[in-house]
Amino acid sequence: MAFKPLEHLQQEFVIIYAPRRGKRIRYPEGCVEIQADEQTAIDGADPENNMYPAIAAGPFISSEGFRLFYLKKWLIACEDTD
């Protein structure tokens, strides 16, 4: 059985501060706000201020000691590809 690192982490509905939403999948805890449910995350989004709703797994403690969330899925369309 292959190891799947995101399966054991808690999944949350979140709002992520992300000036660029390209290929990045790891976000530090300070850029992530956990929300109660999917609709709350979507309603709290503010794309003009780079705040986007998503499903993320975490937090995960990196080897450097940072608490990170791993992006699983954006809840609104991604237009920025940087």
The DSSP string of 39-61 is HHHHHH-BGGGTEEEEEEEEEEE
3-state class of 10 per DSSP?
A: coil
pTM: 0.82
Average pLDDT, stretch 42-71? 95
- Whether the CA torsion 21, 25, 31, 35 is positive or negative: it is positive
Identify the pLDDT of residue 77.
76
Dihedral pair phi/psi, residue 42, rounded to 5°: -65, -45
| pLDDT at residue 17 tops 90 | yes
Identify the pLDDT of residue 12.
95
